């Protein structure tokens, strides 16, 4: 009996230790494929076409992300805590997600038709947005199966589904745009890739006999509603800057801003690895327990360290990165990229802290903070964008997420009973990143070329990493354990 328990414990430990490798590999595939798509579209569509694609996909992605954070998130939490409720929980989550997706799609169609009428036909993006919204239902079902795999701790299967979806998406979109270089072709291919991802998720999750339970529907709805509202407010804050700029600026400025925003969101994809890994353990830990403090602290220091490393790479040569990725016409977005990268790092920290509160079902403070931040952002966008244009939009996003991060950081420190990360480590991390950027920028390199950009960015990233390791911000031992390269004692 004891041997059986020990074997099960060893099996669980093996899953936990190796999970980040699978999730990281899957997110890397997703990240690379996503940037392949945007680089390809920016180079093969006109500035107007890329701006239209950006508007449509940002609106639909906004709705898809808040959908992922509601019913699928509730399913993930329910399955991780009570695996025996899988048949009822999956059935309830699928019904609610499909219903919610259809409602959101209908709202998009009504809103775009009303917008077309209001602008007397001069607003030409309504049809593209309606086309993109068809993806909502297929991506919603895909999200349910993806979340279920995470809640059941089937990390390898979850990673495989992510890879299949990502590869299908980049392949379909590139092939479609080669045949027909238009934003409409790219959006149709995006829908096809979601259907493929949905099928892969269903296959990996396996057959479970549907069981309709009104009790489970009520429970999932009760958890998902505040999570949906919070996610809606947060994802609105992420996209509001581009939407505001799209209304007041021309296609060229909007396209450059959208390209810079996509590069800055690279850290957002890395944040999802951390959130996906730590969510089940934060959810299962007791309040003010050592386990909760450790899981929350590890998640916080992970995203802070990676965020500063990311900023060091971007700040080493932002103009060169824009030109290398999207072409010479996008180089003027250097300052926008730098500011947005800082904003998205703070947004990622804010999101990780929000994940902790969602996992603990502590919604009130989170919703209050989200609402205040969104209100401040809207006011700042109207003022800053009017006088400073794209730079003003980026600065507004940065200021609001700094504010929100500080508020949630203090609250979660009280919730866990311990300080998440020491001020000493934060100062050392910031100093390491700043020193690395300074050295990278003063390198005696002549001219502007891809090689020089790669040298500067590599120098900034490597020096930042080395300095963080030497100062103890990044521990080799903890890094090995996180990646599953070092066994944990069974004692």
Written as tens digits, the pLDDT of the chain (491 aa) is 445 444 444 444 444 445 556 666 777 787 788 888 988 998 888 888 888 888 888 888 888 888 777 777 777 777 777 777 777 878 888 888 888 889 999 998 998 888 766 655 545 667 888 999 999 999 989 988 888 887 777 778 888 888 899 999 999 999 999 999 999 999 999 999 999 999 998 898 887 777 777 777 777 777 677 767 777 777 787 788 888 887 777 778 888 898 888 888 878 766 666 666 665 556 555 555 566 666 666 677 777 778 888 888 888 889 888 988 888 888 888 899 999 998 888 888 887 777 777 666 566 777 788 888 889 999 999 889 888 888 999 999 999 988 988 888 778 777 666 665 666 666 777 777 888 888 888 888 776 778 888 898 899 888 888 877 776 666 655 555 444 444 433 33
Residue 274 and residue 203 in one domain? no
Number of domains in the chain: 2
Residue 242 and residue 287 in one domain? yes
Residue 127 and residue 195 in one domain? yes
Contact assessment for residue 283 and residue 77, using Cβ atoms and an 8 Å cutoff? yes
Residue 32 and residue 102 in one domain? yes
DSSP string for residues in 348-411: HHHHHHHHHHHHTT--HHHHHHHHHHHHHHHHHHHHHHHHHTHHHHHHHHHHHHHHHHHHHHHH
What the block records as the tokens of 346 is 């703070």
Q: Is residue 359 assigned to a domain?
A: yes
Q: Is residue 1 assigned to a domain?
A: no
Q: Is residue 2 assigned to a domain?
A: no
Q: How far, in Å, CA of 21 to CA of 10, rounded?
A: 18
Q: Is residue 6 assigned to a domain?
A: no
Structural domain that includes position 193: 12-212
Residue 81 and residue 168 in one domain? yes
Q: Is residue 4 assigned to a domain?
A: no
In eight-state DSSP terms, residue 134 is: T
Q: Is 108 exposed, middle or buried (0-12, 13-18, 19+ CB in 10 A)?
A: buried
Q: Is residue 462 assigned to a domain?
A: yes
Residue 327 and residue 193 in one domain? no
Q: Is residue 380 assigned to a domain?
A: yes
Residue ending a domain, choose from 191, 212, 233: 212
Residue 323 and residue 387 in one domain? yes
Residue 316 and residue 441 in one domain? yes
pLDDT at 6: 43
Residue ending a domain, choose from 212, 245, 277: 212
pLDDT at 10: 44
Neighbours of 5 (CB within 10 A): 9
Residue 364 and residue 480 in one domain? yes
Backbone torsion region of residue 211, taken as left when φ is above 0, otherwise alpha when ψ lies between -120 and 50, otherwise beta: beta
CA dihedral angle for residue 200, residue 204, residue 206, residue 210, rounded to 10 degrees? -60
Q: Is residue 305 assigned to a domain?
A: yes
């Amino acid at each position: 009996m004891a041997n059986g328990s020990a074997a099960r414990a060893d099996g669980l430990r093996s899953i936990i230790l190796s999970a980040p490798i699978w999730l990281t590999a899957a997110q890397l595939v997703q990240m690379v494929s996503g940037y392949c798509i945007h680089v390809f579209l920016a180079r093969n569509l006109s500035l107007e076409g890329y701006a239209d694609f950006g508007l449509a996909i940002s609106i639909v992605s906004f709705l898809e992300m808040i959908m992922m954070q509601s019913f699928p998130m509730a399913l993930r939490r329910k399955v991780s805590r009570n695996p025996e409720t899988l048949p009822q929980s999956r059935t309830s989550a699928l019904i609610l997600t499909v219903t919610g997706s259809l409602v959101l799609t209908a709202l998009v169609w009504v809103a775009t038709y009303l917008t077309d009428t209001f602008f007397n036909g001069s607003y030409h993006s309504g049809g593209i947005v309606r086309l993109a919204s068809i993806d909502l239902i297929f991506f919603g079902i895909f999200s349910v199966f993806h979340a279920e795999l995470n809640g059941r701790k089937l990390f390898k299967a979850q990673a495989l589904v992510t890879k299949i979806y990502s590869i299908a998406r980049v392949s379909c979109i590139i092939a479609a745009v080669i045949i027909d270089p238009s934003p409409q072709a790219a959006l149709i291919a995006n829908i096809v890739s979601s259907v493929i991802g949905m099928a892969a998720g269903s296959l990996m999750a396996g057959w479970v006999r549907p069981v309709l339970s009104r009790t489970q529907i009520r429970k999932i709805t009760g958890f998902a509603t505040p999570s949906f509202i919070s996610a809606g407010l947060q994802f609105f804050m992420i996209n509001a800057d581009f939407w505001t700029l799209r209304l007041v600026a021309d296609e060229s400025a909007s396209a450059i801003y959208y390209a810079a925003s996509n590069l800055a969101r690279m850290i957002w994809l890395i944040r999802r690895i951390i959130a996906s890994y730590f969510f089940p353990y934060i959810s299962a830990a007791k309040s003010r327990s050592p386990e909760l403090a450790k899981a929350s602290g590890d998640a916080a220091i992970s995203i802070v360290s990676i965020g500063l490393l990311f900023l060091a790479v971007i700040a080493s040569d932002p103009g060169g990165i824009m030109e290398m990725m999207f072409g010479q016409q996008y180089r003027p977005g250097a300052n926008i990229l730098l500011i947005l990268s800082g904003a998205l790092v703070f947004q990622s920290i804010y999101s990780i802290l929000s994940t902790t509160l969602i996992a603990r079902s502590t919604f009130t403070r989170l919703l209050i903070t989200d609402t205040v931040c969104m209100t401040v952002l809207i006011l700042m966008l109207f003022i800053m964008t009017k006088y400073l244009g794209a730079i003003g939009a980026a600065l507004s996003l940065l200021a609001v997420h700094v504010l929100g991060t500080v508020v949630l950081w203090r609250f979660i420190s009280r919730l866990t009973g311990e300080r998440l990360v020491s001020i000493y480590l934060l100062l050392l991390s910031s100093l390491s990143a700043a020193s690395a950027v300074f050295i990278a920028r003063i390198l005696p390199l002549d001219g502007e070329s891809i090689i020089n950009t790669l040298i500067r960015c590599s120098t900034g990233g490597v020096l930042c990493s080395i300095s963080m390791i030497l100062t103890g911000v990044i521990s080799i031992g903890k890094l090995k354990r996180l990646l599953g390269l070092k066994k944990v004692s069974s004692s």
